[in-house]
Structure 1
Amino acid sequence: MNRPIPLKGVSIIALFVFCQCNIDDVGQNHSSFAKMEVPGDFAEYWFNGEAELSSYNLDIVRYGEKRKGTAVHIFVTEDFSREKQVKLDRPKETPEDRVSVMKFNQIYRFETGIYDYSMMNSVFTPIEIKEYPHSLKMTCTVQDWCGQSFSQLNLQDQHYRYQQFSYFESEGDRDLNVRPEMLEDELWTRLRIDPMSIKEGEVLLFPGDFFQTLNHEKPEPRAARIQFDASEATGECIVEYLHLDRTIRIRFQSSFPHRILSWSIEKGSKEVVSATLRETIKSPYWQQNDNKFSYMRDSLKLN
């Protein structure tokens, strides 16, 4: 299979030089940014004090019927605490503890009859993948009118700690250790950092948390096969689970910055999720929460 065009200059040691956002007033800032000395376009695009925001048309099957909704992707780099696994408020004060991560928030919103769903998944993947081969943290929340659930995965020594809290008895409250295999949900961040960091072939993969929560699946790695299909303009990452009726296809730009163009998920021969790009903008959105910035939702085609 053809592989996507490699991203030059990412797999080097990061040097953290300064934080671009004012962090004295923590309550006024959502994110902070470390400056990395990396060649090429990577630093200019990802360390310029803005996040990348994208909206998508979403089709998702729930309760046996196809629903229309909206998906939003937020990609942004942040200073992260290696020890506490939270965003550092004052990274200059603890340089030995900070690691630069790509944060990815994926949001689904759709209606099921009279009520609606709101789902959000967050992944924190170190930019320097060779030094930190595993994502440090993942969280997932799912809310509908019946109840809500929350799960969190934290990298600890030689395992992930998985915690889940749910309204539903079948899920209950869980606290268990999971083998530190690659996360399905970190495929998105790896595609943005360096698609070549995703190896083709058979792997153990921790299935996506949206899937596990909605289907009440046991949280454990599963055997999967990863392959790429690429052209000059676009690439496609294809994940087929060997013992689950689940196939994921993520289409992205072959060239940097490898924007996510669309994705689909199949259960057997039936497509259960599909999303196509509406619009992408760059924005320091955490500074734009006044009413006067509401027009930007039109820019992102969210209204």
Structure 2
Amino acid sequence: MFVQKNFLLIVLALAVVFAFAMKATIFQQQPAGNSGTANPAPADFGSYWFTGKAELNSYRLEQAQYGALNPGEAVLIFVTEDFRTDKQVKSETPESHDKSVPVLKTNLSKKFVTGIYDYSLFTSVFTPISNPLFPNTLKVSTSGQEWCGHSYIQLNYRNNGYQVNGKSYFEKEVDEDYTVEKAMLEDELWNRIRINPDKLPTGEIQLIPGTMAARLRHKRLEPLPAKLKIDKYEGVLYPGKLLKSYVIEYPTDDRTLTIIFESQFPHKIVGWEEIYKSKDNLLTSRAVLKKTILTDYWNHNAPADSTLRQLLVSTR
């Protein structure tokens, strides 16, 4: 009698079990070398990140390109939102709420000038917050605009790997469509610092390099061996107290990224350094924090709100 009344439920349960065995669901498995990504965030995480505001950070930027360091500005934004796991977009309707998970989103904007013309780069990263069913970052997108043309690249987590699609003005990147095996993304490390730096990966792992650096250097994305370590920051260049440095070194790519952050919650990122060759010159790009504000910026788009912009970019 029980089987007859609950036949559909039993069939559905068996189908789900079979799908997990065949790795055919949208649910993810914990990747090798990525221990800790699904561990709970600190208890005070919600009191800072779920207040209906974003954290906006402005930086003084020096960016390597064409064999020289170019002055500019960077803005690093962190905000939580509901993110659909099926279509991998922001959930904006009540009907899609059950298909969504809370994510921490990184928006990183860099603008700088090379000689006579401008560069503008923008990256978005969507990382589920301590969700055991979705331990991996779901999506990364990066766009670039400069006077020669523009480009776009997007990574989506699908079928136990990352699907890469790209379009570009440049011939070798004109129409990209390929898959890379599952590995941690350099782009998600910014979110991982903010969620729980105690769970950051260290040691030698496979890491997919940052999309912004790959676009500037015209590199195809693929997992590379990387050495990661966390140290105390002993310098005086970056503002803040009890700072730590997270060093990501790519021995086979001659590139090193160091992210400087506060060891105490909410683990604000106070700057970063990126070392690589540009036109055979070994250069260090650098961003140093100027200002941090918390605001619901999407509700401040009137001319009168330009005062908030001045507050953000001010060096005082």
Indicate the TM-score class for this superposition, using the shorter chain for normalisation.
0.7 to 0.9
Q: Is the 8 A contact 2:58 2:313 kept in 1?
A: yes
Partner of 1:27: none
- 2-structure distance, mates of 1:129, 1:211: 28
In the other structure, the counterpart of 2:292 is 280
Secondary structure in 2 matching 1:219:
coil
2:307 is equivalent to residue 295 of structure 1: yes
Go from structure 1 to structure 2 and tell me whether the alpha carbon gap of 1:172 and 1:41 turns closer, same or farther (over 3 Å shift). same
Query: Where does structure 1 differ by over 6 angstroms across 4 or more consecutive aligned residues?
Result: none
Report the Cα distance in structure 2 between the residues aligned to 1:191 and 1:210, rounded to whole angstroms: 19
**1:134 and 1:180 in contact (8 A); partners too:** no
Structure 1: tracts of 5 or more residues without a match: 1-9, 13-37
Q: Is residue 63–residue 71 contact of structure 2 (8 Å, CA) maintained in 1? A: yes
1:256-271 alignment, distance < 5 Å: 256-267=265-276, 270-271=282-283
1:272 is aligned with what amino acid? T
Q: Which residue of 2 aligns with 1:145?
A: 147
- Alignment counterpart, residue 196 of structure 2, candidates 185, 194, 197: 194
* In structure 2, distance between residues paired with 1:197 and 1:130: 14
1:181-239 Cα offsets, whole Å, 9 max, x none, are 00011110000001122221101110111111111112111110100003681111001
Q: In the alignment, which residue of structure 2 is the partner of 1:234?
A: 243
| Correspondent of 2:226 among 224, 239, 253 | 224
SS of residue matched to 1:95: helix
Displacement of 1:272 after TM fit?
Answer: 3.0
Provide, for residues 4-29 of structure 1, a one-character-per-residue CA deviation record: whole Å limited to 9, x for no partner: xxxxxx934xxxxxxxxxxxxxxxxx
- Among 80, 83, 87, which residue is 2:83 paired with? 80
Per the alignment, in what secondary structure is the counterpart of residue 313 of structure 2?
A: coil
Higher helix share: 2
Measure the CA separation in 2 of the matches of 1:271 and 1:191: 25
Q: TM-score, normalised by structure 1?
A: 0.85
1:166-181 pair list within 5 angstroms: 166-181=168-183
Contact 1:237 1:250 in 2 (8 A): yes
SS at match of 1:237: strand
Residues 70 and 39 from structure 1, CA distance in 2 versus in 1: closer, same or farther, beyond 3 angstroms?
closer
Partner of 2:48: 45
Residue 302 of structure 1 and its aligned partner are, at CA, apart by 5.3
Question: In 2, distance between residues paired with 1:129 and 1:117?
Answer: 36
Partner of 2:209: 207
Letter in 2 for 1:199: P
Q: SS at 1:134's partner residue?
A: coil
Gaps of 5+ in 2: 1-37, 234-240
Query: Conserved in 1, the CA contact under 8 Å of 2:91 and 2:97?
Result: no
Larger radius of gyration: 2
Matching residue of 2:118? 116
Identity %: 42
Paired residues for 1:26-37 under 5 Å:
none
Q: Distance in 2 between matches of 1:249 and 1:66?
A: 17
1:170 Cα shift? 1.5
Amino acid corresponding to residue 156 of structure 2 in structure 1: N
Q: Which amino acid aligns with 2:309?
A: R
Contact 1:237-1:251 at 8 Å conserved across structures: yes
8 Å Cα contact 1:264-1:271 kept in structure 2: no
Q: Provide closer, same or farther for how the CA distance between residues 168 and 42 of structure 1 changes in structure 2, counting only shifts above 3 A.
A: same
Alpha-carbon distance in 1 for matches of 2:107, 2:42: 26
* Cα separation, partners in 2 of 1:39 and 1:70, compared to 1, 3 Å: closer
> Which secondary structure state, in structure 1, belongs to the residue aligned with residue 90 of structure 2?
coil
Give the residue type in structure 1 aligned to 2:292: T
